[in-house]
C-alpha cells in the first residue's frame, strides 16, 4: 500500500468501545430488491457480501419501522418480529465478511408511494405536499407521533436480536424525521412544531427512544448513528443555520456518530451562513470533537478519500463507488489504486453482483451513474 493512504486503514474505536478495522464505510443505498413481503432476497444478500469484505462498516439500505413508512418498492422491513429472521440473515452475511453491520431505520412520511402503504394513506408532520407532488399527506395525531417514536425503538430491539452491530437513524433526504424538522413540511402548533426548538422534538425523541432500548437490551457495544441532510431547496425549508442547530443538539446526545448526506463532499452552503467555507467545515466546527462525523459524496479515488479524511472527518463513506468497484478497499491495500474502476459498463452487471431491480434503476436514471456504453 502507498503510505500516503495509511490513515484510511487506521482502526477506529467508538465511545462505546465498538471497533472498526478501518475508516471506510459503505454508505446506505436503496437497492429495490427485497421480496414483496419485506424479507431480504438472495440477490440482496449476495450484493452485500460482494461489498462487505474491505470496509470497516456497512450501513444497510433503509428499513421501514411501521407499515405506513415503506418508502420504496423492494424495501426490506423491520416493522414486526416476524422480520427478525430476515434481518438476521442480512446481518450475519455482512459480519461474516469482517465488517460491522449497521441497520438504517426509517419512515418515509409523505414521500411514501401511496400504493405501498395501508389504504394508500400517506402521513407526515402536517398536511403539506412535497413540492411538485399532488399527493397531500394526512397530519399525524400526537398519539400517532408517539407510536412512531416507539416503533423506532422496537425496530432497534429487532436489530439487536438479529445480531446487527448498530442502527443508523435516517433523519435525512426529506423523509419523515426531516419532515418534522423542516418548516416546509411541519406547520404543527403542538409540542412537535412551531419554533426551531419545537421542530427538534421529534428527531431528538427518536434518538432518546433508540438509546433507551440499547441501554436496556444490548449486551455488547451497540452503535447508534444519525444521518442528516444539511439543507433543503424548498422555501421555507431547512437552511445551513438550522442544520447547525440540529447538529449542535445531536452532538450532546452521546451518539456514536453523525453521518451527513451529501452528493458532493466538497459542496458549499446554499443559504443561512456565509459562503466562505465548505459544509463539512461548518459541521466540523460546530461539532467541535463531540461526536465522530462520517463524510460522503462523489468520492471515487483513493486520493479523493484521503483528502476527505484530512478535513477532520473520522470516517469516509463510499456509495455509488462501491457499486461500480466492490474491490475498492482491497485495491488500495494492494497498491493497485490506479486500477479502481470509476465508470459502469452494461456488460459488468453479473461480475459486480448487482440485483436486477437496482441495475434497471441505474440504467434508466440518466446522470445517476457514469454508464459508459
pTM above 0.85, yes or no: yes
Q: What is the pLDDT of residues 174-216, one digit of tens each?
A: 999 999 999 999 999 999 999 999 999 999 999 999 999 999 9
Q: What is the spatial distance between Cα 66 and Cα 63, in angstroms, rounded to a whole number?
A: 9
pLDDT at 275 exceeding the cut of 90: no
> How many other β-carbons are positioned within 10 Å of the β-carbon of residue 78?
32
Q: Which residues pair with 103 in a beta bridge?
A: 167
For strands 100-106 and 12-13, give the pairing: unpaired
- Pairing status of strand 12-13 against strand 19-20: antiparallel
Kindly report, residue by residue over 287-318, the tens digit of the pLDDT: 999 999 999 999 999 999 999 999 999 999 99
57 domain-assigned: yes
DSSP letter for 344, please. Answer: B
64 within a domain of the structure (yes/no) = yes
Pick the range with the lowest mean pLDDT from 91-100, 105-114, 273-282: 273-282
Q: Is residue 359 part of a domain?
A: no
Of 78, 90, 72, which is closest to residue 29 (Cα–Cα)?
72
| Grid coordinates of 197 | 426548538
Assign 3-state DSSP to the chain and report helix, strand, coil percentages, each to 5. Answer: 40, 15, 45
Runs of H (alpha helix) within 162-278: 176-181, 196-199, 201-217, 240-251
With a CB cutoff of 8 Å and minimum separation 6, the contacts of 280 are 260, 262, 265, 266, 293, 295, 311, 313
- Tell how far CA 35 is from the center of its chain: 21
Query: Average pLDDT, whole number, for the chain?
Result: 97
What would the grid cell of residue 130 be? 412535497
In a domain? residue 366: no
Which bin fits 312, alpha (ψ -120 to 50), beta or left (φ > 0)? left
pLDDT band at 373 (very low <50, low <70, confident <90, very high): confident
- 329 belongs to a structural domain: yes
pLDDT (tens digit per residue) in 205-247: 999 999 999 999 999 999 999 999 999 998 899 999 999 999 9
**Is 348 among the domain residues?**
no
Quote the pLDDT of residue 224.
Answer: 98
Chain segment 114-163, per-residue pLDDT in tens: 999 999 999 999 999 999 899 999 999 999 999 999 999 999 999 999 99
User: Which domain CATH number covers 318?
Assistant: 3.20.20.70
| Phi and psi angles of residue 21, each rounded to the nearest 5 degrees, phi first | -75, -20
Residue with cell 406547520: 187
- Judge whether 214 lies within some domain: yes
CA-CA distance, 260 to 171, in Å (whole number)?
10
The residue written with cell numbers 435516517 in the block is 170
Q: How many domains does the chain have?
A: 1
Q: Where do we find the cell 478495522?
A: 21
Containing structural domain, residue 84: 3-336
CB 265 within 8 A of CB 297: yes
pLDDT given at position 168:
99
Place of cell 444521518: 227
pLDDT surpassing 90 at residue 49? yes
Confirm whether 361 is domain-assigned.
no
Amino acid at each position: 500500500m502507498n503510505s500516503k493512504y495509511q490513515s484510511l486503514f487506521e482502526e477506529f474505536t467508538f465511545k462505546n468501545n465498538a471497533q472498526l478495522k478501518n475508516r471506510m464505510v459503505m454508505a446506505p443505498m436503496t437497492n429495490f430488491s427485497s421480496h414483496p413481503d419485506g424479507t431480504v432476497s438472495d440477490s440482496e444478500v449476495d450484493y452485500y457480501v460482494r461489498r462487505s469484505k474491505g470496509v470497516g462498516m456497512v450501513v444497510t439500505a433503509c428499513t421501514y419501522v411501521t407499515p405506513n413508512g415503506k418508502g420504496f418498492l423492494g424495501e426490506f422491513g423491520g416493522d414486526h418480529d416476524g422480520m427478525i429472521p430476515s434481518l438476521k440473515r442480512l446481518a450475519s452475511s455482512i459480519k461474516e465478511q469482517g465488517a460491522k453491520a449497521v441497520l438504517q431505520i426509517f419512515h418515509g412520511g409523505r414521500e411514501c408511494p401511496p400504493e405501498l402503504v395501508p389504504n394508500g394513506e400517506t402521513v407526515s408532520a402536517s398536511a403539506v405536499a412535497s413540492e411538485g407532488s399532488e399527493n397531500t399527506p394526512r397530519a399525524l395525531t400526537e398519539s400517532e407521533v408517539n407510536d412512531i417514536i416507539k416503533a423506532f425503538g422496537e425496530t432497534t430491539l429487532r436489530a439487536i436480536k438479529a445480531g446487527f452491530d448498530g442502527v443508523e437513524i435516517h433523519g435525512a433526504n426529506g423523509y419523515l424525521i426531516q419532515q418534522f424538522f423542516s418548516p416546509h413540511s411541519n406547520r404543527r402548533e403542538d409540542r412537535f412544531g412551531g419554533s426551531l426548538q419545537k421542530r427538534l422534538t421529534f428527531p431528538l425523541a427518536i434518538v432518546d427512544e433508540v438509546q433507551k432500548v440499547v441501554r436496556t437490551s444490548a449486551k455488547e457495544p451497540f452503535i447508534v448513528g444519525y444521518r442528516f441532510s444539511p439543507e433543503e431547496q424548498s422555501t421555507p425549508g431547512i437552511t445551513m443555520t438550522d442544520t447547525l442547530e440540529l447538529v449542535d443538539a445531536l452532538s450532546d446526545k452521546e451518539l456514536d456518530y453523525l453521518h451527513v448526506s451529501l452528493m458532493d463532499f466538497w459542496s458549499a452552503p446554499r443559504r443561512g451562513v456565509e459562503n466562505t467555507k465548505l459544509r463539512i467545515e461548518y459541521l466540523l466546527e460546530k461539532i467541535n470533537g463531540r461526536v465522530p462525523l462520517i463524510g460522503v459524496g462523489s468520492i471515487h479515488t483513493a486520493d479523493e478519500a484521503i483528502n476527505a479524511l484530512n478535513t477532520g472527518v473520522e470516517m469516509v463513506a463510499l456509495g455509488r463507488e462501491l457499486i461500480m468497484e466492490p474491490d475498492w478497499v482491497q485495491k488500495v491495500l494492494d497498491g493497485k489504486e490506479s486500477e479502481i474502476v470509476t465508470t459502469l459498463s452494461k456488460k459488468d452487471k453479473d461480475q459486480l453482483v448487482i440485483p436486477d431491480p437496482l441495475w434497471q434503476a441505474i440504467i434508466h436514471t440518466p446522470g445517476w451513474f457514469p454508464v459508459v456504453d
